[in-house]
Amino acid sequence: MNFHLKPLDLSALANDKTDILLVFVTDDFKPAADALSGWIDTTVKHGDFRAKSGASLELYRPTDLQCKRLVLLSLGPGHAADTKKMLSTALTRLKSTEPRQLTLSFLSKPTDAVLRAALSTLCDVSYVYTTTKSKAEVRSLHRVDIFAPLDQALRNTFTQAVATIQGVELAREWGNRPANHATPAKLAQAARALAEFPNTRCKVLGPKAVAALGMGAFQAVAQGSDEPLRFIELRYQGTTKSTAPVVLVGKGVTFDSGGISIKPAAEMDEMKFDMCGAASVLGVFQALGQLQPKINVVGLIPACENLPSGRSVKPGDVVTSMSGQTIEVLNTDAEGRLILCDALTYAARFKPCAVVDIATLTGACVIALGSVRSGLFCNDAALSAALQQAGETSLDPCWSMPLDDEYAQGLKTAFADVANVAGRPGGAITGAKFLQRFAGKAPWAHLDIAGTAWNSGKDKGATGRPVGLLVAYLMALAGKRV
């Protein structure tokens, strides 16, 4: 989809031959002499449209306007959440008209949050998955023009929002692909394609190189599958080599059956989404490639399948991680933390300023926070605050969770340095406490996206979260360093 930002011109809007002209009207609207203002003024005077939050009106081929459909939406006080809800309702209703071009106009300068909300909603509603369909109905919408009173700050917001959207869509695409179309090898190919961007490199390690590194926990998860594991390393260098990078670590279990501790059959198909943490890292690098911020970022993706076979790791097995710590695998369905712990150890070689891992880690986090906020576990107050602020800014929110040492008591075992599970109580926290053992000295955060990475039911599909949060965090950090 192509986006174009243009300065507000009411005459140009009246002559725009777009399929849908969508106009946001605020409380302080004052009509001018142009045809569009005349239509708005007439509908208000006759009581057909009210300039209050939530009001909407659709007109087909209005006289003196060149658009096929005119849609008036009232922003009211102009909250981003209202914008998202209102626009989603309108676009869902109009989707069946299969518009190719849409014009979105703000009659007064929108806030950054409102503009981001509008653009992301446009993409969410118009998104169509097509990769594995023989007769797919492709996305009809190809061009979106945005008219608004402009300044440089709004232009910058627009640029970042468009790049973020494209990153979100890449993450959604790979999250939605079935496991046989998103193997570890195919995920590595997707990462290599990102190296075509300036200042971006990609390195992929196979089973022999991973074994040489001593990643015994990662290998243990992968050994039950015939699909060879891949360890993916992406590097974006936007500033001097001496500048410490942020390291993003994405869980890349491309299908999770639970292994020997096998999951119930019902809804197991959704375990193709268990690599959404990895997909979010790909999405972030897509956005970085376009935005080219002055920051260094490393992306690490341990990618494998977790399947039962005669070679699979068994409950009670003890494996040795890259850090040298031994782990008793009490539950083979708690595999994400096993592949992540080795990746976190590997991350230390980059001497990072911060490490953030992203994982569909625990069902317990879904119970705790539902699908609204991702769980945030962090050992550094400044990093936690920055991620929470980025989440609010990007409408991709998270919620800070505790990391008290007492939660780690259940991970003790007589047969290894640590067990990989600690029972059901506080399961999201004990999972984070396990990862914290391998986080190293840098400020570290863990985002549990089990509740936010995909939707179930009739709207089943990947959401692309938390690409928005991560891009907002990285861009804010880059801005502070300029």
DSSP single-letter state for residue 95: G
DSSP-derived letter for residue 100 is S
Catalytic residue check, 337: yes
Q: How far apart are CA 461 and CA 466, in angstroms?
A: 14
User: Residue 379 above 90 pLDDT?
Assistant: yes
- How far is 149 from 9, CA to CA, in rounded Å? 9
- Give the pairing of strands 69-76 and 56-60: antiparallel
DSSP H helical ranges for 263-380: 276-291, 336-347, 363-369
pLDDT (mean) for 128-145: 90
Strands 101-106, 69-76: pairing kind: unpaired
* Across 73-87, 220-234, 446-460, least confident range: 73-87
The pLDDT assigned to 480 comes to 67
Which of the following is catalytic: 172, 251, 272, 337? 337
408 in Cβ contact with 433 (< 8 Å) = yes
- Amino acid 44: pLDDT: 86
- Residue pair 299/203 in contact by the 8 Å Cβ criterion: no
- Its pTM stands at 0.96
Instruction: Phi first, then psi: give them for residue 59, nearest 5 degrees.
Output: -125, 135
Q: Give the Å distances, CA to CA, from 219 to 173, 214, 308, 321.
A: 27, 9, 14, 9
Query: Do the Cβ atoms of 363 and 256 come closer than 8 Å?
Result: no
Q: Which amino acid is at 348?
A: A
| pLDDT above 50 (res 482) | no
Q: Which member of 50, 109, 203, 263 is catalytic?
A: 263
The pLDDT of residue 481 is above 70: no
Pick from 89-98, 257-266, 344-353: least confident: 89-98
Element (H, E) at 193: helix 184-194
Give me the chain's average pLDDT, please. Answer: 95
pLDDT in tens, 396-443: 999 999 999 999 999 999 999 999 999 899 999 999 999 999 999 999
* Domain segments of the chain as ranges: 2-150, 172-481
pLDDT tens for 219-250 read: 999 999 999 999 999 999 999 999 999 999 99
Topology (CATH level 3) of domain 2-150: Leucine Aminopeptidase, subunit E; domain 1 (3.40.220)
Give the pLDDT of residue 51: 67
Largest CA distance in the chain: 81
pLDDT at 34: 87
What pLDDT is attached to residue 53?
64
| Cβ proximity of 259 and 332 under 8 Å | yes
Q: How far is CA 209 from CA 59, 204, 229, 323, in A?
A: 63, 9, 11, 16
* 228 burial level (CB within 10 Å; 0-12, 13-18, 19+): middle
Where does the pLDDT of residue 79 fall: very low under 50, low under 70, confident under 90, or very high at 90 and above? confident
Q: Is 143 an active-site residue?
A: no
| pLDDT higher than threshold 50 for residue 113 | yes
DSSP code for 264: P
Does 172-481 carry CATH code 3.40.50.970? no
Pairing between β-strand 230-237 and β-strand 200-205 as defined by DSSP bridges: antiparallel
Compute the distance between CA of residue 163 and CA of residue 158 in angstroms, rounded to an integer: 9
Mean pLDDT of 61-79: 88
Contacts of 369 (CB under 8 A, 6+ apart): 375, 399, 451
What distance in Å separates the CA atoms of residue 366 and residue 448, rounded to the nearest whole number?
A: 9
pLDDT value, residue 19? 96
CA distance 253 to 275: 5
| CA 263 – CA 42 distance, rounded (Å) | 60
| C-alpha of 471 from chain center | 9
CB 449 within 8 A of CB 278: no
Torsion of CA 2, 5, 11, 17, to 10 degrees: 0
Mark residue 61 as left, alpha or beta (left: phi above 0; alpha: psi -120 to 50; beta: remaining): left
Q: What is the DSSP string of 250-283?
A: E-EEEEE--TTSPPPSTTGGGGGGGGHHHHHHHH
Give CA–CA dist 175/460, Å, rounded: 11
Q: Which 3 state secondary structure label does DSSP give 460?
A: coil
How far, in Å, CA of 3 to CA of 19, rounded? 15
Q: Which of 6-15, 28-37, 150-159 has the lowest mean pLDDT?
A: 28-37
